[in-house]
Amino acid sequence: MKIFISADIEGVSTTSEWSECTSGNHLYNVNALQMTKEVLACCEGAIEAGATEIVVKDAHAGANNIDITMLPDCVKVNRKWSGHPYSMVDTLDKSFDALMFIGYHSAASQGFNPLSHTMSSKNIFYIKINDEIASEFTINSYTGALENVPSVFLTGDLGLCEYSASMNPRHPNLTTVATKEGKGASTTNYSPNWVLSQIKEKSKQALQVDFKKSVLELPKKFKVEICYKEHTQAFKMSFFPNVKLINDNTLLFESNDYFEVLRVLKFVL
């Protein structure tokens, strides 16, 4: 069994604010180590369930956060950014059996995590796909569907876990582990060690059910709204091919082809 894990940091159990997610801050090393440990716990659960090959995408900031020396022999890590539109799931392809997400966070405009954002922490007020707020989990799980790989496991803030689970039955076999709860600019963080044991146990369980038929169904049509915090940014990006400005802050893009959605997102965020 071959597993792909995409890992971020704003949804791991130790983070609460932007500065400590950035290399150089006095708490960054604590958080990067917890990100590594949460990825490791997921790998251990997957291996116990029968995984023999795992690829991890380090998908936060410079994509060089995970200490790869701590991971098992069957794990490869994709570090830094190639520039491919698959972005946080770069190198995912049809050879994988399942897709898992560690340290993910609520979407831009959602109040469940002070670190809520979607792809860009600076520019984006929200992204909607087919009239629903799209998180990075939404965007990347659709990429999984494009490669016929089911998204089976998700960890991050409680709001993200509940919002993503509410998208059932589109994710009929999604198992989640919440790491913390956000309120305003604050977070109540769960015990990091308890979170690790939950991740190991639940990632294993997620792979012990018959998940193969639970690939997310790709919509026939994608209507993508990108609302920027600054109208100046919306105006500038409106010159990208095939997008239109629908109000001072918002672009609309429509396509039947999800790869085209990813191509637009790669350039206009």
Number of helices (H), then strands (E), belonging to the chain: the values are: 6, 13
CB of 221 to Zn ion, least distance (A): 29
Q: Which is nearer to Zn ion, 137 or 222 (CB)?
A: 137
What type of residue sits at position 240?
Answer: F
Query: Which C-beta is closer to Zn ion: that of 60 or that of 202?
Result: 60
The residue of the chain with the least Cβ separation from Zn ion equals: 60
Structure tokens belonging to residue 167: 């998208």
Cα–Cα distances in angstroms (integers) from residue 209 to residues 39, 92, 237, in the given order: 21, 22, 44
Site of interaction with Zn ion (CB under 5 A): 8, 10, 60
Q: Give the C-alpha separation, 196 to 257, whole Å.
A: 38
CB atoms within 10 A of CB 193: 12
Shortest spacing between CB 41 and Zn ion, in angstroms: 19
Q: Return d(Cα 101, Cα 82) in angstroms, integer.
A: 20
Query: Minimum Å distance from CB 60 to Zn ion?
Result: 4
Q: Is 9 helix (H, G, I), strand (E, B) or coil?
A: coil
Nearer to Zn ion by C-beta: 106 or 250? 106
Give the residue with the Cβ less far from Zn ion, 164 or 173.
164
Q: How far is the CB of 10 from Zn ion (least distance, A)?
A: 5
DSSP assignments along 207-261, one per residue: TTS--TT-PPPPPSSEEEEEEESSHHHHHHHTTSTT-EEEETTEEEEEES-HHHH
Task: Name the residue nearer to Zn ion (CB basis): 10 or 97.
Answer: 10
Tokens of 93: 């392809």
Q: Name the residue nearer to Zn ion (CB basis): 8 or 97.
A: 8
Minimum distance, C-beta of residue 11 to Zn ion, in the bound complex (Å): 8
Give yes or no for a cis peptide into 169 (omega within 30° of 0). yes
Query: Which residues is 180 bridged to in the sheet?
Result: 189
Q: How far is the CB of 217 from Zn ion (least distance, A)?
A: 28
